[in-house]
Amino acid sequence: MLIGEIDHPSSRQEPSLQRVRICSISLMLAATAFFLVISGCGGAGTPPTPQPVLDLSKHRDPLTNRVEPVLSDRATADPVGSVPTDFDYYEVDSPSVIEDPSRFPIFGDRFLLFYEGTDALLNYVIALVSSTEEDLDPLVIGRTVVMSPASMPDLIDNGTPIAPFGAADPTVIVDHSVLVNNAGRYQMWFEGTFGVNAFSLQSAILTCSSQDGITWTAPIFCTGLEPGALFGTVVRVADPSVLKTNEPSDAFRMAFEVERTDGSSVIGMAFSDDGIAWTIRDGVFNGPPAAPSFSGGPGTFDDFAVHAPTIAIEQDSLGNLIEWMLFYEGARSGTDNDTVIGYATSLDGYSWSGFQIPVLDPSSDLVSPPLFDSDDLKQPAVIQPNNYPGTDINGIPYPRFLLYYVGDPDIPGDRINRIGLASGS
């Protein structure tokens, strides 16, 4: 589910645009040399430089050479066998991806993609697919619900219990210190929404753990994600992304989106010792005095809003820090509110330097029939392949990045979100 997303009108109304969110955590990934969070939009802590030094190539169908999604809504993927009550019939959104090669002898898979699925009545849950391949072909675990309102606790508001409505925006990490198929191998953070009216909901961030990625412990609420005055008049905290660090003082780091009353968004950072109790930090101040860590650059592609952050740490072969990375969804001010994927870097994970152009743009809208991502790009989730650096059996280098993202087409009446993949260095 897209949090704080600015999108075109659609004949199928997106529930993500209607939610009131209090705090939302996103994806935490750990790969061999990379650790990731999910993404949002932004400018920078320092003036943006012209162009990011990244080269990304979108996944294409080998027969048609068309840019195609790696996961589509059920209505598109199975138009004959699907029914409107299927949990992901309407759209798929908010990917969170982990690579866990140690699973293969037991489960027969390697890549796990967690996502938000929405049915025809706009109910939404968190689901999982898995594969031996990064493009999710073939599937090992088919479309499976892993978190729904039935598994969530009530939200207590001033002593009044409010029933759960939906589960959205998962972010999942794998703890390689825990043996495969043992409790705590996987950790998830997600946004829970609460209430009875889909267009007037409260929300909160919850966390849980799993030994297999399918069955999860009872979720508990996260605390401490209340931005101070320097964030402006806040509507909601959304799209958090979590990673685990090697720092004893902040074992978990989070990036999150803060949406304000005028519709603009900035990105904040927080840290935690246990992944439950969080403290907002801007690199200088903690708690209420802390300011946003990242905002849109004036006059650039993200000058209105930065959404859905995902953070990563790049290390060398000895484990030394090279840099922190932030991928996010950026929106320009004005009537054309198409969104793209931006990129920023940092030496401390709190102060960020962005770029003047996006790292990934929509596909051409001149192709017929229209491509699935020809209008908006959003909700990035990035990992580094376990075999990087290295080459495959054909001598082709493994990509430095696998960037999963959400796209919708430039088709009036069909702004349906589907999940794509870009790879590169």
pLDDT along the chain (425 residues), means of 10: 31 38 33 34 51 85 97 98 98 97 97 98 98 97 99 96 96 94 97 89 92 98 96 89 86 93 95 96 95 92 95 82 93 84 94 93 94 97 84 79 95 90 89
User: Domain of 338: which CATH number?
Assistant: 2.115.10.20
List, in sequence order, the alpha helices (H) in 68-126: 74-77, 104-107
Distance CA 6, CA 330 (A): 10
pLDDT value at residue 44: 40
Distance CA 407, CA 159 (A): 40
pLDDT value at residue 47: 54
pTM of the model: 0.87
pLDDT value at residue 15: 39
3-class state of residue 15 by DSSP: helix
Contact 183, 269 (CB under 8 A): no
Q: How many CB atoms lie within 10 A of CB 179?
A: 12
* 8, part of any domain: no
DSSP code per residue over 40-82? -----SEEEES--S--EEE-B-TTT--B--SB--HHHH-TTT-
Residue 213 phi/psi, 5-degree rounding, is 85, -5
* 7, part of any domain: no
Residue 329 phi/psi, 5-degree rounding, is -100, 125
What is the domain extent for residue 232? Answer: 15-424
pLDDT value at residue 48: 65
pLDDT value at residue 390: 77
* 4, part of any domain: no
* 199, part of any domain: yes
DSSP code per residue over 229-285? GGG-SEEEEEEEEEEE-S-SS-SEEEEEEEEETTS-EEEEEEEESSSSBEEEE-SS-
- Kindly report the three-state secondary structure assignment for every residue of 200-216: CCEEEEEEEEECCCCCE
**Which residues share a beta bridge with 167?**
192
> What's the total number of domains in the chain?
1
pLDDT value at residue 40: 34
pLDDT value at residue 50: 67
Half-sphere exposure (CA, 13 Å, Cβ side) for 200?
Answer: 2
* 2, part of any domain: no
Distance CA 198, CA 416 (A): 18
Distance CA 115, CA 164 (A): 18
Q: Which residue in 425, 322, 340 sits closest to 379, CA to CA?
A: 340
* 128, part of any domain: yes
Q: How many CB atoms lie within 10 A of CB 209?
A: 17
* 10, part of any domain: no
Cα diameter, the chain: 62
Cα–Cα distance list, 248 to 173, 191, 273, 274, 296 (Å)? 18, 26, 8, 11, 31
Token reading at 127: 């689901």
**3-state DSSP percent of the chain in helix, strand and coil, to 5:** 5, 40, 55
* 329, part of any domain: yes
Sign of CA dihedral 211, 216, 220, 223: positive
pLDDT value at residue 387: 80
pLDDT value at residue 42: 38
**Which residues share a beta bridge with 204?**
192
Residue count of the chain: 425
Question: Buried (b) or exposed (e) across 330-369, using 16+ Cβ within 10 A?
Answer: bbbbeeebbbbbbbbbbeebbbbbbbbebbbebbeeeeee
Q: How many CB atoms lie within 10 A of CB 408?
A: 28
Half-sphere exposure (CA, 13 Å, Cβ side) for 3?
Answer: 47
